Amino acid sequence: MKLATSERFSEAVVAELKKIRTAKGISQKTLAEAAGLSRGAVTHIEAGIRNPSLLVCHALAAALGISLSTVLRRVERAWAFSSK
């Protein structure tokens, strides 16, 4: 996977996490507290200002009550579907 593609995949993972957060009606502040992050960090991640590490993505997913592997599978399926 090329770097540009990897960056888009990372953006898609963040977008999926945000989608889950909003669907569950969880605020950025509540998610940040549950994940052990600052609200500013979550804001910057969702805005694309900051690229989260794998550990941060794992913490965000866990705070949302979903496994990171499930999030990754959802993104991979969406990518596979969109490339057909």
Segment 21-47, tens digit of pLDDT: 999 999 999 999 999 999 999 999 999
> Domains in the chain, please, with CATH?
10-82 (1.10.260.40)
pTM above 0.95, yes or no: no
CB 42 within 8 A of CB 32: yes
Reported as a single tens digit per residue, the pLDDT across 57-66 is 999 999 999 9
Token digits of residue 53: 């590490």
| Strands in 11-74 per DSSP E | none
